Amino acid sequence: MSRRHRLLLSTALLAAALGAAPATAQAAPPPAAATAAAGTQPYASYWYPNTLLGWDPATDPDARFNRASVPLQPRTADPALRANANARAGEGRIASLVSFGPTSNNPSQGSTDPNYYAFQYWSYLDKLVFWGGSAGEGLILAPNPTVIDAAHRNGVKVYGTVFFPPAAYGGQLQWVRDFVQKSGSRYPVADKLVQAAQYYGFDGWFINQETGGGDTALAGEVRSLMQYTKAQSGTEFMWYDAMTESGAVSWQNALTGANDSFLQDGARRTADSMFLNFDWSASGLDSSRTLARGLGRGEYELYSGIDTEANGYNTGVDWATLFPAGRPHTTSLGLYRPEWTWKSATGRADYLAKDARYWIGANNDPSNTTTGSAWKGLATYVAESTPVTTKPFVTNFSAGEGDFWNAAGTRVATGGWNNLSLQDVPPTYHWLVDTTGSRLTPGVDFTDAYEGGSSLRLTGALDAVNTVRLYQTRLPVAADTRLSVVLKTPAAGATGLKAVISFTDAPTAFTTLDLGPTGGAGWERKTLDLSAYAGRTIAQIGLQASGTNPSYDLKIGQLAVYDGTVDAPAAPSGLTVLGASDVVAGTSQSLRLSWTPSPGGTVHHYELYRRNADGTRSFLGATPSDAYYVNRLDRAGTESSTTVEVQAVSTEYGRSAAATATVGWGGTPPADSNLALGRPATGSGQCNGNEGPAKAVNGTVNGGNSDKWCTLTSSKWLEVDLGSARSLSRFVVKHAQAGGESAQYNTRDFTVQVRNTTTDAWTTVATVTGNTAATTTHPVATTARYVRLVVTRPTQTTDPAARIYEFEAWGS
């Protein structure tokens, strides 16, 4: 297969693999009334041209859940603060075409799966294309709000995708004609593209027209549609180098006289940028730059594509042509499928290592990308940008995914999750550490957090001063400006830690601010008065460790710059249950909730809880939006109703009073059910990316060898949060043989433990040694919210992998 077809392979083949509808299908969504009455999972919107014409956000029950909440943030870059001496600011940029999931299966607001492409290197990115579309699902894919929110928070524009595949992959020329149909002087499909972008809050569309058979007239209509759109809105377009002005599909691998009018048509601007096909050459890029300038456009509006879907950073790239040493960049860079780093990973740690290798190089240091590999890391060429230009600035180092949720240092939920709407602005620099001695290792820590599911951790041998540059900023200091750091040490005592800041009048000269000792082993807040620097502007924020400690270990849960005191927002109101659906009849429901936002515009996100009979609360989820899908609310015993709450968290992380609503329960709950089914689960690790803890509570054992939780960690445990304290009668564990594997892999020795809160000690309720059975049952008489399986000898042999196909907790 020619490389010219790379942009269509993943979506077309995925549709075939999923058994998608035939290419002629244009299935309408379910009736709005039926869907709205239910509490079903909302998904990102996708259409064919004619079904888009029938879309109306007022009648689409999913539309409210697909609206982004974060506007595009301005950002800046100081060339003096670039990490890599070779990198350029203001020259070549980077666009990224990323598939976050199948076209028809992109959850609107995240999910309970912690295995997600939680991208961290926004400071190098200019545009993100939410890649998708297929003949069997839909040709037009709008980005989901989690990606829009995360990108916009970092000043990165987001585009949806319009994809017309070749006939060999189900493409139909009629779909292109449907796309450019006219009503008088109007292009109705274009009007809907604008409406979708404006309603959902994203910036434009990537147009990938690879269906052959067109003519000059059809090509002219495609250009006219884009020109019509740009004349009436700020909606942007990125054009893929495929269709030419003759109507034929012929990849030019350059800007040429055959495709230039799709970028600039005389005095009319057609597209805002062009993605050049992968087989570009030095002469082709040189002529592209010359032609772009001749059209009154810039060469950095051209994104020369590289295809990393198959080989990631092992892809061969002519870097010297694209980003020549000692000369201006030739064009910008277009990345196709950089999520290879995630898809090829065996787990989170492997993904993070691969993503770092892809973006900042083999040394995990953007200032030092020296390597024998041809792929030195993108930080070698493109300088960092920052959106940290306004106060308050608060980061909890949330990665947008995790294995639990903490609120103000208290664990309020266990179980995996992903939601990029809740990702904080990542550090500008991953990782810049200046020292004359041993280099401490900074990293995102997923074992603890102050807010959310992760924190920043500094570890290593401390034998000299280590200055960790974290954020490039442009934050003005007022008379009441404060800098706050929430940190945790293994024990009370000296931390050796200082906050460091520099100012725009001397951006590389740091001022140190001592954070002092800690009084214990819990989270502590250190607040520093910056009034002495009023009138100046902060250019960098970092941390500095000094002293001697062979095993330095410190966590930073929050870093904030704000004025005055931490303000609590006004409370939201009008919490309403829009719809509910049974997960397990009589015992659990999924919900669609909405509320009236807090007035004042100071909300970072809303947190949702259920109120328990004992007055405690169980976390249900969080979102910056005014609507949220709760994937599961469990009935406690035989209660006839459950109170749910929504609470606003401000941009300074003050918390409001809560608004409440009541969820009713019908019928009589079953006397006994598997309370662990579908509940949030976490584990000590996983053997592969598709063998996570959720597989042990998914209710099946017949999905093949990957339908299990597997781990090779030295300490092997699996924990499930039942949502509230439940009366338990028995545990059932289904081992390797229950899933079709050899009996020699059945778990030999293990214990089952329970507790009611995250601060309680675990109580062992079952101990098993010498087991050989495929399925084991363990009667108990206890009450607990958290249940835990601890494997001490995983197999009948010396094989070190624990294999658990199901862990069931039965009760009421």
pLDDT by residue (tens digit) across 112-166?
888 899 999 999 999 999 999 999 999 999 999 999 999 999 999 999 999 999 9
Query: Residue 12 pLDDT > 80, yes or no?
Result: no
How far is 164 from 145, CA to CA, in rounded Å? Answer: 24
Length in residues, the chain: 812
Q: 743: Cβ–Cβ under 8 A, 6 or more apart, which residues?
A: 736, 737, 772, 774, 796
Residue 261 clears pLDDT 80, i.e. is over it: yes
By C-alpha distance, which of 393, 457, 449 is closest to 425?
393
Q: How many CB atoms lie within 10 A of CB 177?
A: 14
Q: pLDDT tens digits for 56-93? A: 999 999 999 999 999 999 999 999 999 999 999 999 99
Q: What is the pLDDT of residues 199-254, one digit of tens each?
A: 999 999 999 999 999 999 999 999 999 999 999 999 999 999 999 999 999 999 99
pLDDT, averaged across the chain: 93
Which of 194, 195, 181 has its CA nearest to residue 58? 195
Once rounded to an integer, what is the mean pLDDT over residues 597-605? 95
Write the pLDDT tens digit of every residue in 116-125.
999 999 999 9
Percent of the chain with pLDDT over 90: 87
Looking at the chain, the whole-number percentage of residues with pLDDT higher than 70 is: 95
Residue type, 332: S
At 656, the pLDDT band (50, 70, 90 cuts) reads: very high
What's residue 254's pLDDT?
98
What pLDDT is attached to residue 8?
Answer: 53
Residue written as tokens 């490389």?
Answer: 3
* CB-facing half-sphere around the CA of 155: CA atoms within 13 A: 19
In the chain, DSSP finds a helix count (H) and a strand count (E) of: 11, 41
Q: How far apart are CA 178 and CA 161, in angstroms?
A: 16
Supply the pLDDT for residue 20: 35
Measured in degrees and rounded to the nearest 5, phi and psi for residue 380 equal -65, -30
Separation between Cα atoms, residue 629 and residue 109, nearest integer Å: 7
| CB contact at 8 A, 383 and 88 | yes
800: how many CB neighbours lie within 10 A of its CB?
13
Q: Vertex 772, ends 768 and 778: CA angle to 5°?
A: 40
Read off the pLDDT of residues 356-385 as tens digits, 9 standing for 90 and up.
999 999 999 999 999 999 999 999 999 999
* Cα-based angle 225, 230, 234 (whole degrees, multiple of 5): 140
Is the predicted pLDDT of residue 32 greater than 90, yes or no?
A: no
pLDDT given for residue 414 in this prediction? 81
Q: Is the peptide bond before 392 cis (omega within 30 degrees of 0)?
A: yes
Predicted pLDDT at 152: 98
pLDDT in tens, 295-326: 999 999 999 999 999 999 999 999 999 999 99
Instruction: Answer yes or no: are the C-beta atoms of 665 and 583 closer than 8 Å.
Output: no
**Tens digit of pLDDT for each residue in 677-707?**
999 899 999 998 889 999 999 999 999 999 9
| Cβ–Cβ < 8 Å for 465, 440 | no
528 exposure class (CB count in 10 Å sphere: 0-12, 13-18, 19+): middle
pLDDT tens-digit profile of 271-291?
Answer: 999 999 999 999 999 999 999
- Burial pattern 418-447, b for ≥16 Cβ within 10 A else e, equals bbbbbbbbbbbbbbbbebeeebbebbbbbe
pLDDT digits (tens, 9 = 90+) for 385-411: 999 999 999 999 999 999 889 999 998
**What is the band of 13 on the pLDDT scale with cuts at 50, 70, 90?**
very low
This prediction has a pTM of 0.87
Q: Is there a contact between 540 and 471 (Cβ–Cβ < 8 Å)? A: yes
How much is the pLDDT for 38? 85
Q: Is residue 348 within 8 Å of 118, Cβ to Cβ?
A: no
Model confidence pLDDT, tens digit, residues 551-595: 999 999 999 999 999 999 999 999 999 999 998 888 889 999 999
Q: Is 589 helix (H, G, I), strand (E, B) or coil?
A: strand
In contact, 202 and 212? CB cutoff 8 Å: no
Q: In sequence order, what are the residues at sequence separation of 6 or more whose Cβ sits closer than 8 angstroms to the Cβ of residue 145?
A: 65, 66, 67, 68, 69, 108, 109, 200, 201, 421, 625
The answer to whether the CB of 469 falls within 8 A of the CB of 432 is yes
**What three-state secondary structure class fits 259?**
coil
Q: In the predicted model, is pLDDT for residue 2 greater than 80?
A: no
Give the DSSP letter string of 329-376.
-SSEEEEE-TTHHHHT-SSHHHHHHHHHHHHHTTTT-TT----SSS--
